[in-house]
Amino acid sequence: MKITYVFISALILFSVSCKNENNKSESLNMKNQNKTIITTQVTDTLISSLVKKFGAAHELRIKKSIPQLVALWTEKDGSQDVFSEFCHNNFIASDDILEKTAKRLESNFESLYGYYNRISTDLKVPLHLEIGEVFPIDELFGGYEPFSHMTEDFFNNKIGFVVLLNFPYYSLAEKAEAASSWNRRQWAYARLGDIFASRIPSELLLKEGEAMSNADSYISNYNIYMGNLVDDQNKTLFPEDMKLITHWGLRDELKSNYSNKENGLVKQKMVYQVMKNIIAQTIPESVINSNKYKWNPFSNRLFKDGKEIKFKPEPDTRYEKLLNLFKAGREVDAFCPNFPTMIERKFNRDMELSQEEVEKIFIQLLSSAQVKQVGAFISQRLGRNLEPFDIWYDGFKARGTISGEILDNACLKKYPNKDAYEKDLPEILVRLGFNKEKAKQICSHITVDASRGAGHALGAEMKSDKARLRTRITEKGMNYKGYNIAIHEFGHNVEQTLSLQDVDFYMMRGVPNTAFTEALAFIFQKRDLELLGIKDNDPNKFHMMALDNFWACYEIMGVSLVDMYVWKWLYKNPEATPAQLKEQVILIAKDVWNKYYAEVFGSKDEPILAIYSHMIDYPLYLSAYPLGHLIDFQIEKQIHGKSFAEEVQRIYTKGRLIPQVWMKEAVGKEISCGPILEATFDALKIVKK
């Protein structure tokens, strides 16, 4: 059997190397094929003739759609005469027919997106779930993206052109300007236009999917056996069977030790040393996902049977995965005239907030006077100077005063397996204020699985499918770390279900961007102890929540800046090697630390902001977390004193409006760090008394 797998791996490597040699010529050929053949004269003549034929009432839509078709129509689609004839024959002037066509499109897209999503989810099961060994063939299937051919096929058979001709694409600025006058149907029409704003060859989408899947698999299987870590006295501090994924598991273990008065600080320092070795890629390759050796992360020495042995460090694999994502994304750039870089696609297209706008919000909070004040307050509560890992200080939550063992035992007893947790989901919603019928209806669309990685939530794309909740479940059952993640992911699933099942138009399903689903996940996660039956009777609970939210924003905003700045550097240095990228990531992380953290923590050149796994396997996603915290806080203020269930259902059935419009309708104000800064200022005055 081993020979078979070695052969398959060699075949994969050969295939990849052959692809790399041909990448440049293939890309150039695809770019040439993508050039438009429609002249300005033909375009102007066509617009005039269409306006004359269908009337001035349709002039704005005609002038909007025709140039968009021109930019995407290529020689293989037909001559200029064919193009003109196509537009005359397929423009829909009747409002009634346009509406009926939109409904038919929505029905068809629900089937397409729904089943493609189900196929993609099923093919990734061996990579995402604990069902046994992962084989090379699983990696290949996991990297396959069934969506990749749809857009290309629909341009080839002209469906994409029909949609764009009648439902043109609107830029973010245009959507913002039209927001006050558009009704729900017009928003749904605009979302139809978003589907075909770019024409990306399927080969490139497949490459992106493969790079993403490979990075995700790398992260999902990056575990550290904590019972094999030793200190300078060759002592072990952690349980023998403790296996933690990076960075989430390491971070959560670090958080759990704030209540450990015996040796919590020592354990935290050891975890941080593990992280620093991962960032620097000085970690012994043989300790990753293996318990064969003892490792001292302080001295970076490896032992077998009590004797020190030589080792090979991990060969910059972490940064190679990130670089592969960049290379795959950069090939797509030429085919996205509206979003010519990955940065613009992630922010202007996916997030519908500009990178500059997001960066400005983050820097405002990172530079605020409240940072030093909260840092000093934490230091006072800890009774010591701050350590770099105190960016994850967990003492503002009620769980920060409860030992990890007590929390683990409570969760293991309540949830011995995934079925017990899934069965309890409706009751969790009832405890949050949902009526039994609605709770049962929501949970009928959610299923629970044991995750290979840290945990995640996968939403459905059609009403007949289910959302998937994945969290880590040990052989003994669900411990507190798994439960805490599971409550977070359940928040995602509730959003995913409400915003699919209860939204008026299919094209308006979902939320403006991932920060909004993160917000509800955070809101659920904060109530984890309450849902376990552990009461928090602190009269300053709301003020402590504000401080916790503020410190979480402070932590992840710096990480997000590192993520942004790394991608900007990559675009300036596209030929970088993994070693050069590693050097720059660490340098950027230290620069951001020195600018916004060093004075608060009293130490310079700390690399901790570079540890986040999503920087490696999910490009430019990290900004969703701090934005989610800001949105979370504004929603918490909105629902305070009101029915939690009613407000959540009202807010999360608004659908995919653009972010600032959604926020105004949900809470009356745009996304801003102003409310959390004000609340933090007020909280400090109260809790310091």
Question: 3-state SS of 484-506?
Answer: HHHHHHHHHHHHHHHHHHCCCCH
Entry pTM = 0.84
> Is residue 326 a part of any domain in this protein?
no
Dist CA 517 CA 511 (whole Å): 7
> Is residue 492 a part of any domain in this protein?
yes
> Is residue 38 a part of any domain in this protein?
yes
Question: What is the sign of the dihedral through the CA atoms of 75, 80, 86 and 91?
Answer: positive
Q: Which amino acid would we find at residue 264?
A: G
pLDDT score, position 147: 80
Q: Name which of 138-147, 247-256, 288-297, 441-450 the model is least confident about.
A: 138-147
Residues 29 and 39 in one domain: no
Residues 545 and 673 in one domain: yes
Most confident of 27-41, 338-352, 444-458, 587-601: 587-601
pLDDT score, position 205: 85
Does residue 19 surpass a pLDDT of 60?
A: no
pLDDT score, position 615: 95
Final residue belonging to a domain, choices 171, 198, 214 = 214
Considering only CA atoms, which of 528, 484, 482 is closest in space to residue 243?
A: 482
What angle is formed at CA 375 by the lines to CA 373 and CA 376, rounded to 5 degrees?
65
Does residue 28 surpass a pLDDT of 60?
A: no
- Say which residue the tokens 């490696």 belong to: 616
Mean pLDDT to the nearest integer, 302-324: 96
Final residue belonging to a domain, choices 184, 214, 244 = 214
pLDDT score, position 15: 33
Dist CA 608 CA 610 (whole Å): 5
Cα distances from 64 to residues 47, 58, 80, 491, in angstroms, run: 10, 10, 19, 39
> Is residue 11 a part of any domain in this protein?
yes
Residues 166 and 209 in one domain: yes
Does residue 14 surpass a pLDDT of 70?
A: no
CB 496 within 8 A of CB 468: no
> Is residue 500 a part of any domain in this protein?
yes
Residues 173 and 270 in one domain: no
Q: What is the mean pLDDT of the chain?
A: 91
Residues 147 and 77 in one domain: yes
Residues 56 and 143 in one domain: yes
Residues 50 and 111 in one domain: yes
pLDDT score, position 356: 96
Does residue 1 surpass a pLDDT of 60?
A: no
Considering only CA atoms, which of 451, 477, 470, 457 is closest in space to residue 129?
A: 451
Dist CA 83 CA 257 (whole Å): 67
pLDDT score, position 403: 79
- Say which residue the tokens 């909070």 belong to: 365
Q: Which amino acid would we find at residue 349?
A: R
pLDDT score, position 22: 43
Cα distances from 557 to residues 24, 254, 280, 351, 560, in angstroms, run: 36, 20, 22, 16, 5
- 348-405 tens-digit pLDDT: 999 999 999 999 999 999 999 999 999 999 999 999 999 999 999 988 977 666 878 8
Tell me the Ramachandran region of residue 478: left when phi exceeds 0, alpha when psi lies from -120 to 50, beta otherwise. Answer: beta
Residues 376 and 412 in one domain: no
> Is residue 327 a part of any domain in this protein?
no
Residues 6+ apart with CB under 8 A from 406: none
pLDDT score, position 536: 74
In this structure, what token pair is assigned to residue 138? 């699983």
Does residue 309 surpass a pLDDT of 50?
A: yes
Q: How many domains does the chain have?
A: 5
pLDDT score, position 209: 86
Residues 346 and 412 in one domain: no
CB-count burial class (<10 Å; 0-12, 13-18, 19+) for 20? exposed
Please state whether the peptide bond connecting residue 247 to the residue before it is cis, i.e. omega within 30 degrees of 0: yes
Considering only CA atoms, which of 337, 334, 345, 340 is closest in space to residue 32?
A: 334
Query: What is the DSSP pairing of strand 467-471 with strand 446-450?
Result: parallel
> Is residue 323 a part of any domain in this protein?
no
Dist CA 345 CA 283 (whole Å): 34
pLDDT score, position 21: 38
Residues 56 and 183 in one domain: yes
Q: Name which of 32-41, 417-426, 510-519 the model is least confident about.
A: 32-41
Residues 443 and 507 in one domain: yes
H/E stretch holding 309 reads strand 307-309
- 584-613 tens-digit pLDDT: 999 999 999 999 999 999 999 999 999 999
CB 161 within 8 A of CB 103: no
- 406-418 tens-digit pLDDT: 899 999 999 999 9
- With cut-offs at 50, 70 and 90, classify the pLDDT of residue 30: low
What angle is formed at CA 418 by the lines to CA 417 and CA 419, rounded to 5 degrees?
95
Residues 265 and 379 in one domain: no
pLDDT score, position 534: 87
Residues in a beta bridge with 303: 294, 308
pLDDT score, position 67: 96
Does residue 24 surpass a pLDDT of 80?
A: no
pLDDT score, position 129: 87
Final residue belonging to a domain, choices 286, 318, 350 = 318
Residue-range definition of the domain harbouring residue 5? 1-33
> Is residue 266 a part of any domain in this protein?
yes
pLDDT score, position 453: 73
Does residue 4 surpass a pLDDT of 50?
A: no
